[in-house]
Amino acid sequence: MSKTAIKPSLKNPFAPDEKIEFNIPGEIAGKTGAYEEVMQEGHDLILRPIKSVAVGQIEKQHFKKRMTVWERIKVLTDAEPNILFQNWGKNLDGASLVTGILNIGGRDVALYGHDFTVRAGSIDATNGSKLAKLFTMAGEKGIPVIGMNDSAGAFVPAGVGGLDGYAEAFTALRKISGVVPSIMCMFGFNAGGGSYLPRQGSFVIQPEDTFFGLTGPGVVKSVLGEDVTPEELGGPKVHGATGVADLTVSDETAALRTAIRLLSYLPDNNGVMAPYQPTSDPLDRKTWEINTLFKKAFNSPTGFNTPVDVSIVIQQICDHGDYFELQPTRAREVITAFGRLDGSVVGFCANNSAVSSGQIDCDSANKIARFVRFCNLYNIPIIFIEDTTGFLPGREQEARGIVQAGRSMLDSIVDVRTPRILLILRNAYGGAYASYNNYPTGADLVLALPTTRLAVMGPAGKEFVYKNELRTLRAGMPAMIKKLTGERVKAGVDGVEAQKDAEKEATDFLKAQEAALNLRYEKELMNPKEGLALGSISSLVMPTDLRKVLGENMNFFLRHYKAAPMQGVQREFH
């Protein structure tokens, strides 16, 4: 009895061999010869990366809830892709990477995607050369890049060739940074170079159930002895919180659709403006919702210290309330987003007092710096919305380098050359105001609401402004307590009780006096009056007129702005 396992098959073993005559696709069948043989070889080569893949490999992708690279391309566009650099060797060298040009919404986009069904999407020297050629061409032609990353890293049998391939791709992508924008989608399990390369791009989108990182869990276990899951090591929650991933989504389709939507806000290159989109939303539409928001917040028991979600303000300013937020799960003290105002793409950089009073810490400062620098490189005007009590103080922030992070934020704002407007909603204190796009740092226009509280310090500033009055009040406390105690003793109250009662009355009196000075400080100094008098604020705006005033002024600045690359070599900020 044979020990060889019998595999079931539908093929008839007695059927004669079928000889298929090859004809050029679309050609009427005719006599074949040497020409047809050459054409068949060429046709087989063209289809080799697709046809050579076993059905089982495709099924494995689908079993993991992943698409093939060709299926992903169809999500991006209905148009037939123009596949370039179809070079591969006898061992399918280079076939694990697809490169080409797509038409997305009438725009040319350079695309690459790892084919995980071929050698797990790994990179060899041929792949690296293909990628470098694609990046170079994208920079020369001025078209954006979309990457679909699904790679096990360098192809080990290729030896140093795989490493050279990555190095060549790294260099080419860095050279077009700041020239054309790039969007990187992370699929599957990526490690090593498969993580470095996409993070060189402008934006990274990561779906759930994916991983990318320096090393995988297996390496961490063998080197450090730590048991860690892929999700804990390099999942979307980890990278979304650190800013390594700009956007996290539910699945692959969501990632690709998000890439298409993000692309609609980006220009083709650093020499043109982002696409203009006509809108039916009137520019003079009254923003009553903003007025209602502030009325309910500031008339509440907590008054002008009430947190306000600034995303509502951004929504009401944008055309039809539509905007695209970046890094939405990280450093929520500030919101960075793209939106359209009267059809033109605008970047919004807004303090969010709904989180930690809008205080700027290391993460939010770096988030601002990166976004502002991107807008500056790609001719996107910026509206800064300010409502912050300042930089977050404390030992932890100093240890993390808040001075350096704040400096990065300030540098990015000072360097801005695109049209920019500052809108002060409420709080604008100290160094945060001084480094947040005011007139001295280069703002084209500074507007403020009547609710603005512009000052060197918040309520604590009374300690300096009314120093003498407070000193007199506090110095007189012992005498007041002694006097009140004596009065109570004379009235027949026990000495100990008299002392306690006198101390409480004196303390309440001091608190009342300090509260009165707080109100006086707010009325005299924490308001827009001094800013208007000095010219630090150009004019006041009513909440209901925000869309109209911002839109009209931005349109004016854009009419007199000429899109052009920044002078000298400039790269995107990381």
Catalytic positions are 192-193, 431-432
- On whether the CB atoms of residues 269 and 292 are closer than 8 A, the answer is no
> What is the SS3 string spanning 246-267?
CEEECCHHHHHHHHHHHHCCCC
Element (H, E) at 174: helix 160-176
Buried b / exposed e over 192-211, threshold 16 CB at 10 Å, is bbbbbbbebbbbbbbbbbbb
One-letter amino acid at 480 equals M
What residue ranges in 105-258 does DSSP mark as E strands? 107-114, 145-149, 182-186, 189-191, 203-207, 211-213, 247-249
Dihedral sign for Cα atoms in the order 311, 317, 320, 322: negative
| DSSP characters over 466-522 | THHHHHHHHHTHHHHHHHHHHHHHHTT--HHHHHHHHHHHHHHHHHHHHHHHHHHHH
Say which residue the tokens 């791709």 belong to. Answer: 169
- Which whole-number Å values give the CA distances from 88 to 85, 91, 323, 358, 536, in the listed order? 9, 8, 43, 54, 63
DSSP 444: S
| DSSP characters over 304-334 | GG----HHHHHHHHSGGG-EEEESTTS-TTE
CA 376 – CA 343 distance, rounded (Å): 19
- Nearest Cα neighbor of 279 from 371, 370, 341 is 341
